[in-house]
Structure formats: structure tokens, C-alpha cells
Chains A and B, each alone.
Chain A
Amino acid sequence: MNVPHISIYYFGAISLVLIGLYGVLVKKNLMKILISLSIMETGVNLLLISIGYVSGKSAPILSEGIGPTQAVDPIPQALVLTAIVIGVATTAMALSAAIIIYEKYGTLNVEEIRRLRG
């Protein structure tokens, strides 16, 4: 069979995103949902990084022996640096909300956290 050329990096990154999405949609425990969300963010970051990869080139740090032509694309790295920080901030925010939910409701099951409805 002639397998189309899908880079393992793309495949892995998209799989991580899908695993995360699956977890968010299916799991009932709030903590597991938040873990899935983090997995999804990791997958996105890996995808971003792998888009900037140029085969055989080195890290984009201007130093001896490595000029601008021998480096991989530096822009996705700046993007990922930002996205990682944003992801951590979101997770921290979500965890503090989860603590309050546990204090007030006494459960982390999303099916029982249903005071707002309508």
C-alpha cells in the first residue's frame, strides 16, 4: 500500500488534540476534563512547532558556525512560547474555579454540578 507521506510529528500532534477533545467530551470528572484540556493544548503547541521545522536545520540561535540559513523557522517558537504561558494561565484559573466548585458543591462530577439551568 502506498502510504501518503504524513510526518510523524503532525500525526502525533493531531492525535494528542483528538485525545484531549475526546476526554473533554466524554469524561465526567472535572479534573479529568481539565487534564484533557491540557493535553489538547500540548498537542496544539507540538503542531505549531512542527510546522516550523525544516529538515536537518538547527536551533535558531545566532552563534558560531550557525548562520541564518542553517536554522529552523523561529516564528513558531515565539508563538509556542506565548501559547504555553497562556495555557498554564488558563489551567491555573480553571483549577482555582474547580476548588471553589468542590467547596460549594462537594463533588467534581459534572452531572451533579447543575445549579444553573434553563
Chain B
Amino acid sequence: MNGQYASLLIALPLISAFFVPLIKGLGRKAIMGYLVLITAIQAAIAGWVASEVYSTGKPIIVMAGGWRPPVGINLYIGQFAALFVFIIAVVSFFMAFFSFKAVTIEPVDKYAMLFLLLMLGATGMIATGDIFNLFVFMEITSITAYALTAYNKTGEAAEASMKYIVLGGIGSSFFLIGVALIYGATGTLNMAHLAQLAGTIDPTVAQVGLALIIFGLAVEAELFPLNAWAPDAYQAAPHPVTVMFSAFVVKAGLYAIARLLYILQNANGWSGVLKLVIAMATLTVVVAEFSALRQRDVKRMVAYSSISQVGMIAFALALGTQAGVDAGVFHMVNHAIVKALLFLTVGYVGVALGGTTIENFQGLGKRMPLTAITLTIGSLAAVGIPLFNIFWSKVRILLAGVEAGYPWSVALILGASVVEAVYYLRLIHTMWFVEGGERVRENFAIGVIAIFLAALIIAIGVYPNDIWTIAQKAGQDVFNVANYIKNVPLMGVGA
């Protein structure tokens, strides 16, 4: 089949979001069913694209309007994008099921529309090959994220959303200034063309432009000085939306940082920017782990834990070596699975028992055994115990960090990981060894999803090599810029 059909990954959620108001009159069930249907189709398309990309080994280049880059906008669906577009679609599909149970506040039609647009924005951020188009998709993602954060209509939700809007607004302004500087220096917005011209940029402009772009993206990617919105937004947003934030919205930001870093690797002064990201990432891990330690709200605790894992991914992606990028991508996949499971189960407890404070988790092992078991598996995996998937990616990140010559950062990250074990074991202890209320009947569909994710965690933990091979291919897609330029059919225009 023609590779240009991959543009359906963008077109389908967009068109379906426009059709939501038309089926509004059919009631809540119909809208939720529609959401499940569309995300299922999206997952099927993403699966087809991924199998196509991995079987041929060649990226799919979608050229908008038939204009060849750098004149037209192109989508670059390489191994990385294919893998993550698939993860985005599958997580959205699961969350569409979870929304049946978790989203009870009207108006549900607006929720469905924003849900689809969030999926669209993240997909576009990962697939695009043009920096301004990246900005547009980033704004689609963040504006829908602002709205979804405030969806619960409580004071807390509005407050969290407002923090996110102000930080996101500053971030996007910085990003745009960075884009303006880089466009002014090179005269192009296409990433492949930019990579060709990177060596000719004035070092000051390249450094300032890249640093501004990274600062802008760091708001989305939750790196240290700019991540104050994240725990609030995670706590206040509807539970399925929290899963989507941590499973793929953050990943899209991280990927965009990594992509732009490596695109401009020939620019003078590049390594200074890498050091900046390394420092931000290390601080993110340390600060988030210690903040998680003193949380009483379990959802907020898992949110801080998610931020610290994100810091670890950013650390790996900014090492500047092939091993680091591969490990970072591997951790991105593992973290998406584990955090989807954790937020799903925590959110489900919040829905079933009304609230996610630690008191509600007392005796959960007897009250909701299935949820408690999967939550335990997720917590153990997040700590990084052997035979669970995150163990492998954490080890690889730390080894790559030592090899690349950052032993101090590795020591700090490793020290902070010990803290992670403390609060997750405290949660597990509360669930299994503290007496609590009565038995609650558990939902079948959510149980199936949770068991599937838990099984995936253990499967990858026992047989890591298959996913590791895929992650290595995806990592090469990000790291090997020469190959990236070669794959994009550039028209010979400009300097």
C-alpha cells in the first residue's frame, strides 16, 4: 500500500473530532463508544504503519500537498515515530475504555473532542519533520491539555490549569523566539535541511536559539525549573487524561528535544547545550524523587515519580552517544507501559472509592485484589527490581551515563532511585498489611487492561531482547542524522 496513507494518522483524529458535535444528541454512551471506535481504528492504522516501517527498514515520508521538502511540510515516520505513534494509539484506546467509568461529569462531547485532539497533537509532534509544524502540534497538544486539566470544573482543576497555561505560554513564546533565530540564521524550517546547514550557523545564534527551543520544550517535557505545573495538573485532571499526559504527552516533548538536539549536532557550541540538558535532567530526578517522598496523595506521588523517570530519560537522550539514546528510547517505552498501569489503577481506586489519598489505599489487597496486585506489579517495576522491565532500561541508562563521562550525575540519579523504593514500598505496605474497609466489585474491562499491562511489564522484564532491538533501531533513527538527511528527499533549493 502507498506510504502516503500514513497521513491518516493525523487526518483521522482531526476529522473524527469535528464529527463529535454531530453525534452529541445521541447521548453519553454513543459518544464514548465513538471514542473507542476511533481510537481502535487509529491503533490499527498505527500498527500497519509500524509493521511497514519495521519490515522495510525505511521510513515513510509523507509530503503534504505533494510538495517536496523543504518547500512543503513533510512527516517523517521513521522507526522511532512508528513505534511511538503506535504506543500513543494503543494507550488512547485503553483510556477510551477507562473513560466510560472515570468521566462522569458533563459535557462529555467536549471531553471526547479534546481527547481526540490531544492524541492528534502528540502524534503530530512525533511524526513531523518541520520545526514550525512542530510548534503548531505542540500548541494543539498543550491547549487541549490545558482544557482537559480544567475539565473537572473544581477550583483545584482551574488552578492547576492556570499554572500550566502561564508556564506553557512562556514556554511557547521562548520556543517561537528560538525558531525565529534559527530561521533567521538558516532560512529554512525543515529539519533535514536544517541538519545540512547546521555547520554554517553562527555559534552564538545556534547556542541561543537551541537553548531557547529547549527551554520552550522543557515545559512540555517537565524538566526541572519548568515542571511545577505537572504534579498539580496530574492531580487535578480526570484520571484517563493523567495517563495520557504521562504516557505520551511528556514523551512527545522529550522526543522533540532529542530530535532538535541531534539535528543541530554539527553546529558550533552544541556540546554546551547538551551539558545544560544534562544538568536540568539530573536536577529533575533529584528534586522530583524527594518531593514524592512526602506526598499524602497517591496520585500526586506517582506524578512526582513520573517526573523523575522523565528526568532520567532526558539524561539518557542528552548524553550524546548512541548507547545513551538507545537506552533513553527503551526507557521511554517501559515508562509509558508502567506509568499507564500505575495511573490506571490509582485512578480506578480514585473512581471506585472516591479520592486517591493514602487512607483510601488501606487494605486494598482485600478490598480490590485485582487492582491491588496490578498496582503492586507496577510499583515494583517503577522501582526497577530485576525481572521487571524498568530494571533493564535503568541499568542501560546508568551504564551509558558512566561511559559518556558523567559519573556524578549517575551517582545522584542512583541515590535518588533509592528514595523511589522507599515511597513505593510504603504504598505496597499500606495496601497489603494495613486493615481497611469492605470488598468492592471491580470492573471487568479495566481489570483486563490492567492485567494486560502488568503481563507486558513482566514479559519485557523476562525477555527484554525483542523490545531492546526495536528500541535500538528507534534510537538510531534519532541519533543518526546523516541517515535522516539521506532519507528525506530534499529539493535542491536555497544555499
Q: What is the interface of chain A, defined by CB distance below 8 A to chain B?
A: 17, 20-21, 24, 30, 33-34, 37, 40-41, 43-44, 47-48, 51, 75-76, 79, 82-83, 86, 89-90, 93-94, 96-98, 100-101, 104-105, 113, 115-116, 118
The answer to whether A90 and B183 touch (CB under 8 A), given A97-B146, A97-B158, is no
Minimum Cβ distance to chain A for residue B186 (Å)? 11
Which residue of the partner chain, among A48, A51, A97, contacts B162 with CB atoms under 8 Å?
A97
Among the stretches B249-257, B294-302, B406-414, B446-454, the one at the interface with A is: B294-302
Instruction: Give Cα A97–Cα B164 distance, bound, in whole angstroms.
Output: 11
In Å, the complex CA distance between A96 and B143 comes to 13
Q: Is the CB of B136 within 8 A of A86?
A: yes
User: Chain A residue with minimal CB distance to B232?
Assistant: A116
Q: Return the CB mask of B155-171 against A: 1 if under 8 Å, else 0.
A: 11111111001101110
Indicate whether B100 reaches chain A with its CB closer than 8 angstroms.
Answer: no
Q: How many residues of B contact A (CB 8 A)?
A: 42
Known: A24-B170, A40-B169. A48 touches B180 (CB 8 A): yes
- Complex CA gap A51/B189 in Å reads 14
Contact across chains for A90 and B169 when beta carbons are under 8 A apart: yes
- Min C-beta distance of A21 to chain B, whole Å: 7
What separation, in Å, do the CA atoms of A104 and B147 have in the docked complex?
17
Give me 6 other A-B pairs in contact (C-beta within 8 A), A40-B169, A115-B156 excluded. Answer: A17-B177, A20-B173, A90-B165, A97-B162, A113-B159, A118-B294
| Residue of B132, B146, B147, B158 most packed against chain A (CB within 10 A) | B158
Which of A30, A75, A116 has most B Cβ within 10 Å?
A116
Which residues of B in the span 114-146 have a Cβ within 8 Å of any Cβ on A?
132, 135-136, 139, 143, 146
**12 A-B pairs (CB sep. < 8 Å):** A17-B177, A41-B173, A43-B173, A79-B132, A83-B135, A83-B176, A93-B146, A97-B150, A100-B155, A101-B159, A116-B156, A116-B232
* Contact present for B177 and A47 (CB under 8 Å): yes
Asked if residues A51 and B146 are in contact (CB atoms below 8 Å), the reply is no
Assess whether B169 is in contact with A94, with CB atoms less than 8 Å apart.
yes
| Contact of B309 with A by CB under 8 A | no
**Inter-subunit contact A48/B176 (CB<8 Å):** yes
Query: In the bound complex, how far is the Cα of B137 from the Cα of A82, in angstroms?
Result: 11
List of B residues within 8 angstroms of A89 by Cβ: 139, 143
In contact, B153 and A100 (Cβ under 8 angstroms): yes
Q: What secondary structure prevails in chain B residues at the interface with A?
A: helix
The yes or no answer to B236 lying at the interface (CB within 8 A) is yes
Decide yes or no whether B184 CB sits under 8 A from chain A: yes
Q: Which residue of A lies closest to B136 (CB)?
A: A82
Is the pair B300, A40 in contact by a Cβ cutoff of 8 Å? no
- Chain B, residues 226-241, CB within 8 Å of chain A (1/0): the string is 0000011001100000
Write the chain B residue with the least CB distance to A14: B177
Interface residues, chain B, with chain A CB atoms under 8 Å away: 132, 135-136, 139, 143, 146-147, 150, 153-162, 165-166, 168-170, 172-173, 176-177, 179-180, 183-184, 189, 231-232, 235-236, 291, 294-297, 300
Q: Which 8 A-B pairs have the closest CB atoms?
A: A104-B155, A100-B158, A51-B184, A116-B232, A94-B165, A37-B169, A86-B139, A101-B158
Q: What residues of A have a CB within 8 angstroms of the CB of B176 in the complex?
A: 44, 48, 83
Q: Which residues on B sit within 8 Å (CB–CB) of A115?
A: 155-156, 159
Residue in chain B with minimal CB distance to A43? B173
Q: Give complex CA distance A40, B294 in Å.
A: 36
What distance in Å separates the Cβ of A107 from its nearest Cβ neighbour in chain B? 11
Nearest CB of B to A16, in Å: 10
Asked if A21 and B170 sit within 8 Å, CB to CB, the answer is yes
**Residues in B whose Cβ lies below 8 Å from that of A30:** 162
Smallest CB separation, B154 vs chain A (Å): 7
Most interface-central of A21, A24, A40, A100 (chain B CB within 10 A): A100
